[in-house]
Amino acid sequence: MARSYLERDDLIPQLAEIFRRYGYEGASIGVISKETGAGRSSLYHFFPGGKEEMADAVLAQISDWFEDNVFVPLKEKPAEQALPEMAAAIEAYFHSGQRICLVGAFALDEVRNRFSERIEGYFARWCEALTQCLQEGARSQTEARQEAISTLAAIQGGIILARASGNDMAFQSAVAAALARAQRM
Amino acid sequence: MARSYLERDDLIPQLAEIFRRYGYEGASIGVISKETGAGRSSLYHFFPGGKEEMADAVLAQISDWFEDNVFVPLKEKPAEQALPEMAAAIEAYFHSGQRICLVGAFALDEVRNRFSERIEGYFARWCEALTQCLQEGARSQTEARQEAISTLAAIQGGIILARASGNDMAFQSAVAAALARAQRM
DNA sequence: TTTAATGTGTAACGATTGGTTCATAATGAA
DNA sequence: TTCATTATGAACCAATCGTTACACATTAAA
């Protein structure tokens, strides 16, 4: 039988896109209600903590997705397989830079302070997984970590450049160059 | 004699820091008034267009600063001099990544649409100046442009990582690596 | 000293903010 | 069918939003 009630988990991907589009401050409860089609009372029913709980749930969901689809593969698969897979995954996830990284955007915003643990954890875990992957070769850990940082910066910066220019090329070019560097060891 | 009235130009650097700190949506007129010490009427006296005009003036001021202190040197000086100068300038300007790039932050935000010309122009001119500088060597224009994009992405991404981790090292490492690559030609 | 221009404080505007209340409606298990 | 649980719509709250109006201060030039 068809479900006739909304569920909390169904809301989260929608909330993610709304926060991406409007930012944390710009996404008012009114906007969220209109865009999701859920009434105010429903939203507060699922997220008694209000907007802050909504954003936290979104960040948690994003973290989980990256854990399963990016971080774990990086740590478990050989580099020559894991790196192209990561490239494909983020190319698809970020829509060639036109879909922003919510965690990165929050890091630049004032809300960074409210979600600092989630933000810090996301990048720390990504950096750690990538470092471990790159260390597979002859590199020192220091070298591998620096390469990992450069790669993550290229991805985040690539998104900014792509959004600023309206041109996917900046993202693709920055990411491709970074991954080629990472792969060559 | 000391000036007893506020002037528009004195407000702009303060406004810039406020937008950096709170974001465009988060920087309410009330906050701006309190932080600058200027009354609402003074703010609207200097910026009849309201908050949008304030942000536009800030972006214009930032653009001018980079034009004079970064873009022109990149185009006029030899690469081996211009690149370290750019490195020093941005290291100081962005406080090792702890001071965000307002243009980059706006590019990720919904306000991007309102200031698209300014945002696009800022990165396009920076990219062009850097490309011209890098092309000085034996590189093709395509190669130089790709290196320029990678360098700008490293800077913007470095800021995000530094803010996310609270650690300057991510910025310094990403930028140093990018500039070492750019220099080596 | 007058005058016009420019800057500022106070108060208010209607609209919207995040958040709450509560009666009602839909649900699945007993 | 009963019943407790869960979901929802509508109205509401005080606070704040961006913006405006207007009287009053201050200024530099006449």
Q: What is the mean pLDDT of residues A66-87?
A: 97
Looking at the domain that runs over A8-183, which CATH code has it been given? 1.10.357.10
Place of tokens 């470092």: A131
On the question of pLDDT at A1 being above 60, the answer is no
**String of DSSP letters for A21-59:** HHHHHH--HHHHHHHH---HHHHHHH-TTTHHHHHHHHH
| Cα B32 to Cα B24: distance, rounded to the nearest angstrom | 11
| Cα A184 to Cα A177: distance, rounded to the nearest angstrom | 11
Looking at the domain that runs over B55-183, which CATH code has it been given? 1.10.357.10
Contact status, residue A78 vs residue A181, Cβ threshold 8 Å: no
State whether B161 and A155 contact (CB < 8 Å): no
Query: What does the domain layout of chain A look like in residue ranges?
Result: 8-183
**What does the pLDDT look like over A18-45, one tens digit per residue?**
999 999 999 999 999 999 999 999 999 9
Interface of A with B (CB under 8 A): 21-23, 25-26, 100, 103-105, 107-110, 112, 116, 119-120, 122-124, 146, 149-150, 152-161, 163-166, 170, 173-174, 177-178
**Token pair belonging to A57:** 């749930």
Contact status, residue B152 vs residue A159, Cβ threshold 8 Å: no
Contact status, residue B13 vs residue B36, Cβ threshold 8 Å: no
**Average of per-residue pLDDT values in chain B:** 95
State whether B160 and A153 contact (CB < 8 Å): yes
Q: What is the mean pLDDT of residues B24-41?
A: 96
State whether A160 and B104 contact (CB < 8 Å): yes
| Cα B100 to Cα A105: distance, rounded to the nearest angstrom | 11
pLDDT confidence of residue B4:
64
- Express as a percent the part of chain B with pLDDT over 70: 97
| Cα A117 to Cα A135: distance, rounded to the nearest angstrom | 26
pLDDT confidence of residue B130:
98
Residue B94 CB: number of other CB atoms within 10 A?
Answer: 21
Contact status, residue A151 vs residue A182, Cβ threshold 8 Å: yes
On the question of pLDDT at A138 being above 80, the answer is no
